[in-house]
């Protein structure tokens, strides 16, 4: 096990992409666990920071492709929240690369494992979160 990675996935595209990857049997690291949000725009900086505090080594938010959000601009809002959170992480001494926002389409099953791979390799590179377990 490399680390604990939390993926906030919007219930339309992010979640569906993971569903499709599963149905196509595309394997990826079990370190990733998905939390379903109605829209990536639901994400609050609070959720991301709490996840790190609870022991996550990396966090990502997966929303729809720009222009295809089921709720028009949810994914744009999500990106803003993610950028805000990156800034806060940096000021706390946590490498902001541990957090990322991705745009993915519901029928891109191949993409979900790549997102996971990306986050796993970042954790491998950066090591476990400086907050430690339940820091």
Partner 1 sequence: MTLPTGSEAVALSSPGRARSRRPRIRPEKDLTERIGVFLCRCGGSVDGRLDIDAVRERVSSMDGVETCLVMDYPCSKEGREAIIGAIGEHDLDRFVVAGCSPKVVDERFMTVARESGVNPFMVEIANIREHCSMIHRHDEATSKAIKLVKAAVSKCSLLVPAPYARTRAEREEVLVYGNGMSAMVAVDELLSEGGKVHLVVPFDPKNLVFNYHDGITPGHLEAMRDRILDSDMVTVYGPGSVHMFQGDPENFRALLRSGEEWKEIGCGAAIVAWEAEEVPPLSVDGVNVITQADLEHLLEEEKVPRSTVMITMFEEDDPYPGRITHIEALRNALRIKVMDPGAEVTIVARDVLAFGMRELDYIEAQSKGVRFVRTGSFPRMIEGSPFIVVVEDETIGEELAIEADLVTMTSWDQPFDTDHIGKVFGAPVDENGYFIPTQVKLKPTASIREGVYLCGTGVESKTPSEVVLEARSAASRAMTLVRSEIERGGAVAEVDPELCSACLTCVRSCPFSAPFIGETGKAEIDIGLCQGCGICAGICPSKAIQLFTSTDDQISVQTEMLTGGRDL
Partner 2 sequence: MVIGAGIAGISAALGLAERGIFVNLVDSDSAIGGRSRELSCKGLDKCVRCDVCLATDKLLEVGRSEMIRVLRNTRVKSVSGSPGNFRVTLERSPSPVDEGSCNACGKCVEICPANAISPPRSGIPLTYSIDPDACLWYRGDDCHLCEEACPQGAIDLSRKGSTKRMQVGAIVVATGFTPFDPDLDPRYSHDLIPGVLSSLEAERQISIDGDLVPPEGTSLDRLAFVQCVGSRDLKHGVEYCSKVCCKYSMGIALLLRALHPELEITFFYMDWRPYDLKGEDLREWASRDQGVRSIRSRPAEILPSETGKPVVRFTDAGESISEEEFDMVLLSVGMAPPEGLEDLAERLGLRTTPQGYIETSVERPAMTSRPGIFASGCCTGPKDIEESAMEGNAAAGEAASFLEGSP
Residue 85 contacts partner 1 per CB under 8 A = no
Phi, psi of 16 (to 5 degrees): -65, -35
Site for partner 2 in 51-110 (CB under 8 A): 64-68, 103, 105-110
Question: Closest CB to partner 2 among 24 and 121?
Answer: 24
Residue 92 contacts partner 1 per CB under 8 A = no
User: CA-CA distance, 4 to 11, in Å (whole number)?
Assistant: 21
Residue 56 partner contact from partner 2, partner 1, none using kind-dependent CB cut-offs of 5 to 8 Å: partner 1
Residue where the block lists tokens 């800034």 = 87
Please select the residue that binds partner 1; options are 56, 89, 99, 104, rule is CB under 8 A.
56
Please select the residue that binds partner 2; options are 5, 6, 10, 16, rule is CB under 8 A.
16
Count CA within 13 A, CB hemisphere, residue 51: 25
- Residue 22 CB contacts under 8 Å (≥ 6 apart), including other chains: none
């Amino acid at each position: 096990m490399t680390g604990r990675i939390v993926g906030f996935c919007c219930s339309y595209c992010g979640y569906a992409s993971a569903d499709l990857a599963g149905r196509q049997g595309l394997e990826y690291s079990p370190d990733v666990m998905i939390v379903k949000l109605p829209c990536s725009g639901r994400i609050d900086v609070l959720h991301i920071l709490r996840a790190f505090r609870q022991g996550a080594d990396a966090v990502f938010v997966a929303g729809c492709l720009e222009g295809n959000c089921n709720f028009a601009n949810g994914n744009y809002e999500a990106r803003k929240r993610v950028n805000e959170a990156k800034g806060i992480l940096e000021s706390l001494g946590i490498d902001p690369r541990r957090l990322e926002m991705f745009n993915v389409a519901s029928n891109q099953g191949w993409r979900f494992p790549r997102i996971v791979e990306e986050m796993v390799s970042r954790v491998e590179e950066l090591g476990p979160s400086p907050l430690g377990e339940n820091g």
